[in-house]
Each structure stands twice: as structure tokens, then as C-alpha cells.
Copies of this chain bind each other. A is one copy, B any other.
């Protein structure tokens, strides 16, 4: 356990352990529930300061990537402990900066430290190294085979962008940072300016953990800066070798472009937008629907709908059972009040999205919730259209970030599947069904597998488990790269690459592939796993 340490929000970036005043203007946090500015002001870094951070990250890389599983795991656990130690100060600041309730922030802190500890266990277990040994075959004909071994190493310094909607779990010490550090990569975080004080407190926790672990301070930096300018510069920096981002499609596309235009293009993991279609099949609509519609409205309006996995699209059959679903959902929504959104900008964009849906041809408003009692708390809204209209209007697939939903009425399974096949890539798809819907499910599932990263039955996509089997990802434009996940232990593979070693004497081999297996790894020998 780490000791408690004094911390304070000073409005300073952390550049390789040094609390640093900005050199390019300032920004202040705003309490979105009241519209009031929060002290202190945060200094924005200059290009030179950014470069100091990336240089330090590059310099720290070899030391950090060489850490033993135990040392790296213990460091990740210290980060978790130090975040826990921040106590009420962190909750209070995060609530003030985001308008999210204290219970939600506490829950998100639990998730954040939980995922740091999960990655510690993954690193300690060691399978992520993917050690392989193909022993020499000196007598092989026609030519002998030399000894060849392989392990995975970190890609290098990783740029991580804090997300507005998860000030802890997808930000400074969130999933991208945790998985990059677990993979042995130094991390430079561009803080989200909507919660800079939260970022600074967490950044101090990471920096203290480095110090307590005897690791180079350059392994972590936290930068405040204007989003576009510093963000682009960070992705363009030749020392940065990968990018993790959660945010808007516009932001993600800009980072993808910057990364692909570098002299050395680098991987970008951008989690961007998803409307998370829900397919309500006829069988589930027989009898009482209240649990279903309450679940839908609860998931759609939870946290003002500010979740990547918010169910924004629900396919419901035509007919009386479907009509009952719409009526019941409308009734539930009418009783639901809006809650404070993360920023005034997000609230305005949500209102504009709802207005856009209102104006869309063939779309009608089904219900409106109540406005919340604070600033930036718009009323939730629910709309309806037909499958035929939806299929003809690609703009209806644009995410409205907030508590807004669209019900799409379909005439037949065939029509539903046909429209499903036209959906863009999504993080999730949900099916609500009974055994009676089996034949429809069999047709729908293969279509969904090609569209999404996670398929759910009879549950709701919000509330993403941090585990070993979780995939929080999916085909473009849900993410920039469908080959991985941003939640769960599989994420460690994002930031690694394989290196092989041929005919190298044991004394010069890295520990994971030395003959004596000092790290006690499970290794694949000639393709077959040989347990430690």
C-alpha cells in the first residue's frame, strides 16, 4: 500500500514528474450544473513543453519496458492504491467538473482502480508476452534450423486523450493508460479540458506511484492544452508510436488523418460513435412489457445518455404488441427528467441533434421527458420512424450524444435483417427475444457479428464489464480499428508488437525467452503451449 500524500489542484501540467506552468494561455473548468467557473486556472503547454514530455517518454521507454512482471504489476497496483487514497477530494472535484452524481464518480473510481488491478494480474501472469521458442534442429535436412524465439514488446510512447464522459475510467488513468502501461509503454495524456482538476489529481497519483516504484518519471506526463493544437502535435510527434482516444467522430477522424500523414504512420485506437441498435423480436412483446420498456428508458436516459453504449436505436415490430411497446416506453420517458450534461457544448449539441431528428422526414416524436432542474439538463426525447424510411436516411444513423432514442418499426423479420445489414459498425447490438424467436435469431446473429464488437441478449448495453471476455470495440465508424477492444484485458495487445530472436546466445536473450524461463511464463514451444 502506498502512503497518503498531500495533493492539490494547482492548474499545472505534469511533465515527467515536474509540475509545470503552461506557456500558451490558460483554461478554467466550469461546473456544468451551475455554469460557474472553478478555480484554479490551468496553464496550457507550449509546443516545446510537449516535446519535453515526449522526449522524456522516449528516454524512459527502454527502462520501463524491461521491468519484470512483478515490478510492473506492483507499479500498476500502486497507481490504483494512490487513486483510492485521493479520497473525497477526487470525488468532490470530479462532481463539480462533470455534474455527475457522487455515487457515479465513486463507482467509476472503483472501476478505474479495478481495471488497473486487472492489468496488474494480467502482467503478473505473463501470457501477454506471448513467448515462443522454436528450438534449433541442427540435423534437419536439407538445411539445419537455427534456434528462433519470439516475444512481444511495447510499441513505444503512447498518446492518450482523456474522454469527456468518463473523467476517471476513460481518462488520465483509464483503460487506455492502464493497458499501455501494462504493455510497457510510457504514456503522455492530453487531459480533457472539461475535467482538468480531476486529471491533475489522478496524474499526481500516477507520478507518485512511479516515484515509489523507482521508475523513471518520464514514463508518464499529463498535458493541459487546447484540444486541436496540442492533440494534433502530440499525434504528429515522431517519438509517439500509438494513440488511444475516446470521443467524437470528428475528433477521432482528425487524429486518424494526422497519424496516417506522419513520416512514420502509427496505429490509432479511436472509439468514436455508436448508436447501439436494439432488436426487439415479436416473442418478447407478448404479455407484460413493463420490465422491457423500463429497462430501455432506464438505459437510454442513464447518465443523461452520455455513454458510448447508449441504446439510441430500437427495432420494434409493427402491430399491436409493438404499439404497446411504443406507448409503454413513451409513458416511462414522460416521467423521466433530464440530468446535467457534462458541458454546455455537449448539452447544446444534444439539443441540436434532437432538433435534427424532429425535422427529419418521416420521423415523428413519440414522447418528451422533463427538463432537469439544473443548467444543461435537456429533456430526453424519443422518436419513431419506419424501417423503410430509416433505410433511406443514412443521417438517422448519426449518433445523438445524449438521452435521445429512435424507434424503428419493421414489418417482417426479413425487413429487420435487411436494415440491420445496412447499419454502420457499432460497439454493441442487443437482441430481446424468447425461445419462440429462435429462427429469427439464427438469421440475425451472423449479420450482427459482422457489424459489432459485442452482442447482448435480454439485457442492456450500458454498464460495460471490465473482464477478460469483454470487447468494447467494433467495425468503423464505431472505432478506427476493429481488431481490438478498449475495455478488458485483451486491450493490452493493442500496444505490443512481436520481435523474434534468431541464434542468439542465452546470455543476450531477454528474460522471457531465456532457457531457464526466469519469469516462469507459459511458453509456446514449436507451437504447443508448455506451462511454466
Chain B contacts for A127, CB-based, 8 A: 529
| A496 CB contacts on chain B under 8 angstroms | 483
Q: Can you list 26 pairs linking A and B with CB atoms under 8 Å apart?
A: A133-B469, A134-B467, A145-B465, A149-B469, A153-B449, A155-B483, A256-B260, A264-B475, A264-B476, A265-B476, A265-B480, A442-B508, A453-B499, A456-B503, A457-B508, A458-B503, A465-B502, A467-B526, A468-B524, A468-B526, A473-B497, A483-B498, A489-B527, A490-B498, A522-B529, A529-B529
Tell me if B425 and A264 are in contact (CB < 8 A). yes
Q: CA separation between A454 and B504, bound complex, in Å?
A: 11
Q: List chain B residues, Cβ under 8 A from A465.
A: 134, 145-146, 148, 502
> How far is it, in angstroms, between the C-alpha of A481 and the C-alpha of B465 when the chains are bound?
30
Whether B264 pairs with A455 at a CB distance below 8 angstroms is no
Binary flags per residue of A361-374, CB closer than 8 Å to B gives 1, else 0: 00000000000000
CB distance from A197 to the nearest CB of B (A): 27
A255-277 to B contact mask, C-beta < 8 Å, 1/0: 01000100011010000000000
Interface residues of A in 477-532 (CB under 8 A from B): 477, 480-485, 489-490, 496-505, 507-508, 522, 524, 526-529
User: What is the minimal beta-carbon distance from A46 to any residue of chain B, in angstroms?
Assistant: 27
- The CA-CA distance from A176 to B373 in the complex, in Å, is 59
Give the distance in Å from the alpha carbon of A366 to the alpha carbon of B12 in the complex. Answer: 58
In the bound complex, residues from chain B placing their C-beta under 8 Å from that of A482 are: 155, 497
Cα–Cα, bound, A121→B145 (Å): 20
A435: chain B residues within 8 A (beta carbon) = 505
- Please report the C-alpha to C-alpha distance between residue A490 and residue B148 in the assembled complex, in whole angstroms: 14
- A265 CB contacts on chain B under 8 angstroms: 256, 476, 480
A160 to chain B, nearest CB (A): 18
Q: Which residues of B contact A282 (CB under 8 A)?
A: none
Question: What sequence of 0s and 1s flags, for each residue 90-124 of chain A, a beta carbon within 8 Å of any chain B beta carbon?
Answer: 00000000000000000000000000000001100
